[in-house]
Structure 1
Amino acid sequence: MKILSRAKLNLYLDITGKDQSDGYHYINSLFQEISLADEISIEAADADSIEFRGIDVPGTDTTVHRALRMFRDTTGIMQKYRIVTDKHIPTGAGLGGGSSNAAAVLTALAEMHEIPAREMVPLGARIGSDVPFFFTGGLCRVRGKGEVIEPLAGRLDGLHFIVAYPDIHISTKWAYSLIDEYGTGLTEDEILKKRAIDIDFLRKIMYNRFQGKIFDEEEKLSALKEKLDLELRADISMMSGSGSSLFFVYESERIRDEVFEIIKNIFNYRFFRCDPVYRTER
Structure 2
Amino acid sequence: MVTPERRLPRSVDVRASAKINLHLGVGAAREDGFHPLETVYQAIGLHDELVATEDEAFRVVTHGAAYVDVTDVPVGADNIVARATALMAARVEVEPTADFLVHKEIPVAGGMAGGSADAAAALLALDRLWDAGTPDDELLALAAELGSDVPFALIGGTALGTGRGELVTPIADSGPWWWVVVPSSAGGLSTPAVYRRFDEMFPGADPEPASAAAVISALATHDPHRLGAALHNDLQEPAIDLRPDLGDLLDRGESEGAVRGLVSGSGPTCLFLAESPTAAHALAGALRGSGQPVVLVAAGPVPGAQVVDAP
- Aligned mate of 1:87, from 100, 104, 108: 104
Q: Classify 1:14/1:264 alpha carbon distance in 2 versus 1 (closer, same or farther; 3 Å).
A: same
Say if 2:110 and 2:183, in contact at 8 Å, map to a contact too.
yes
1:7 match:
18
Say if 1:159 and 1:198, in contact at 8 Å, map to a contact too.
no
Q: Classify 1:79/1:239 alpha carbon distance in 2 versus 1 (closer, same or farther; 3 Å).
A: closer
1:136 match:
155
1:252 match:
276
Say if 1:208 and 1:239, in contact at 8 Å, map to a contact too.
yes
Tell me, which stretches of 5 or more residues in structure 1 are unaligned? Answer: none
TM-score, normalised via structure 1 length: 0.90
Q: How many pairs are equivalent? A: 277
Q: Classify 1:225/1:204 alpha carbon distance in 2 versus 1 (closer, same or farther; 3 Å).
A: closer
1:273 match:
297
1:74 Cα deviation (Å)? Answer: 2.1
Which of structure 1's runs of 4+ aligned residues deviate more than 4 A?
none
Equivalent AA in structure 2 for residue 10 of structure 1: N
Say if 2:215 and 2:227, in contact at 8 Å, map to a contact too.
no
1:192 Cα deviation (Å)? Answer: 6.0
How far apart, CA to CA, are the structure 1 residues paired with 2:147 and 2:29? 16
Q: Deviations over 1:104-156 (max 9, x none)?
A: 11012112323234312222212111111112110001111112211012233
How far apart, CA to CA, are the structure 2 residues paired with 1:68 and 1:202? 38
1:16 aligns with 2:27: yes
Q: Classify 1:58/1:186 alpha carbon distance in 2 versus 1 (closer, same or farther; 3 Å).
A: same
Say if 1:153 and 1:192, in contact at 8 Å, map to a contact too.
no
Q: Classify 1:150/1:265 alpha carbon distance in 2 versus 1 (closer, same or farther; 3 Å).
A: same
Larger C-alpha radius of gyration, 1 or 2?
2
- Percent identity of paired positions between Structure 1 and Structure 2: 26
TM-score, normalised via structure 2 length: 0.82
2:43 match:
33
User: Whose strand proportion is higher, 1 or 2?
Assistant: 1
Q: Classify 1:184/1:253 alpha carbon distance in 2 versus 1 (closer, same or farther; 3 Å).
A: same
2:5 match:
none
Say if 1:166 and 1:269, in contact at 8 Å, map to a contact too.
no
1:62 match:
79
1:79 Cα deviation (Å)? Answer: 5.6
Q: Classify 1:92/1:279 alpha carbon distance in 2 versus 1 (closer, same or farther; 3 Å).
A: closer
Q: Secondary structure at the match of 2:195?
A: helix
